[in-house]
Each structure stands twice: as C-alpha cells, then as structure tokens.
Amino acid sequence: MNADPRRLAQALGHFFEQGGLLEQALTHRSVGPTNNERLEFLGDALIGFVIAETLCLRFPQADEGTLSRLRASLVKRESLAKLARGLKLGDYLRLGAGELRTGGHARDSILADALEAVFGAVYLDGGFDAARKVVLNLFAGRLEQTDAAHAGKDPKTRLQEWLQSRKRPLPEYVVLSIGGNQHDQTFTVSCLLNDLNESTRGEGTSRRRAEQAAAQAMLEKIENA
C-alpha cells in the first residue's frame, strides 16, 4: 500500500479491531486469491439496504419506481467512484503489477468495488450500526441534494431544464481526452456554460457517461453558488 490504512479508517470514522479486514478490502483480485471480492459482495448489499431505508423514511409519499431510481442514482458505479476519490481510496489499494501499469488505482470500477468492500469490512468488524453510520456519513452530502421530483431525470436533462427556465444558453460538451485500452476506455469531457465562462469536467467509461458526470458537476456548482 502506498498510504497507511489507519488514515483511511480515521477518514471513515471507524477504527478497526480487526485490521486485516481493512487490508483485505483494499486488496484487488489481481494480487491473489485473498482479495476483496467477497467483502465487495457484502458491501454492495449493505449500501443498497441502508440507502433504500433512508429514502423510504425521507420520501414517505414516493412510489417504488421513484425510490428505485433515486437509489440507483446514488449507488451507481460513477457515484461510488467519486466518493472513493474523495477518500483518496486509490492511494491505499493493493494491486497486481498489471493493474498498476494500467492505472487501476484511478479506474471507476476498481474504486467503486473497493469502496463497497470497505463497507463490508466495517460491517464484519463493527456490526450493522457501525456500518450504517459510515455509509450515511459518507453519503450525507448526496442524500441532502436528492430530490424525489428529479427522480428518473439524468443530470444533462436537469441542467438543460435549469438553464431553459432562466432563458440561458444550453451547455456545450467537449471531449478532452480518451485514455485506456480499447476495451476499457476512459473519456474525459468538459461541460461549458459560455455565457458565464464556467466549465466542469467529468469522466466515464463512455462519452455519454462522461457528459453526465460533467453535467452533474455543473449542477452542483451553479446550485451551490
């Protein structure tokens, strides 16, 4: 590992009694048979339940379809990878030589899977209440911004509606770079608001996903201005 995992535990607000669990959660399958895949499986189920419970309590009038779309938006790969980057999770990962050479520590799929594994490790170490607390603390900002009225609308649509309601020009999306291998590319796209000279960037495994990420970043920027 490049960084001391105790710093990650401090950022999570959970100090492990079983330090080996955190180390396993940060170990990619490319390292060997003792890796984070089983913890990832557990963490995925845990996040889904905790977020579903929170949404049900927060939006008592929302129907099943609306709640499902809200949950999907919160726990999708890109969202988890963004949270992982906020924790600098890539600095703590243990990767095999091949993944190290190809920049696996920055790949959405690896970051998202590792974050799920970390949640699974917290659960096994401290129980459900400890894991629920860590999940909700990390998702607090995104949950605060979640609006049932926007369920089912992607960030590009929401940004367009926000601009049109204020009679503002529509954004321009520009591909800045395409990296990675042919079968595992990463797109970087900018979202430009020319009338305000504002821009944001987004990354994704396709141009569409990168544009959505850039639009989401722009929404957060202008709504919090």
> At a CB cut-off of 8 Å and minimum separation 6, what does 122 contact?
12, 14, 16, 130, 131, 134
* Residue of 208, 207, 172 whose CA lies nearest to 187: 207
Among the listed residues 116, 125, 203, 211, the single catalytic one is 116
How far apart are the C-alpha atoms of 10 and 145, rounded to whole Å? 25
Per-residue pLDDT, averaged over 91-96, amounts to 94
pLDDT digits (tens, 9 = 90+) for 33-52: 999 999 999 999 999 999 99
Report the pLDDT value the prediction gives residue 38, as an integer from 0 to 100: 97
Helix ranges, the chain (H): 5-12, 19-25, 37-58, 64-75, 77-86, 97-101, 108-126, 128-145, 155-165, 207-223
Active site residue 125: no
pLDDT digits (tens, 9 = 90+) for 120-176: 999 999 999 999 999 999 999 888 888 766 665 788 988 998 899 899 999 999 999
CA dist 72 → 48, 52, 59, 112, 146 (Å):
9, 10, 15, 14, 12
125 appears as a binding residue in the annotation: no
Report the pLDDT value the prediction gives residue 152, as an integer from 0 to 100: 58
Report the pLDDT value the prediction gives residue 95, as an integer from 0 to 100: 94
Active site residue 53: no
Helix ranges, 146-206 (H): 155-165
CB 41 within 8 A of CB 121: no
Phi-psi region of 96 (alpha: psi -120 to 50; beta: other; left: phi over 0): beta
Q: Which domains are assigned to the chain?
A: 5-147 (1.10.1520.10), 155-223 (3.30.160.20)
Report the pLDDT value the prediction gives residue 2, as an integer from 0 to 100: 66
37 appears as a binding residue in the annotation: no
pLDDT digits (tens, 9 = 90+) for 47-62: 999 999 999 999 888 8
211 appears as a binding residue in the annotation: no
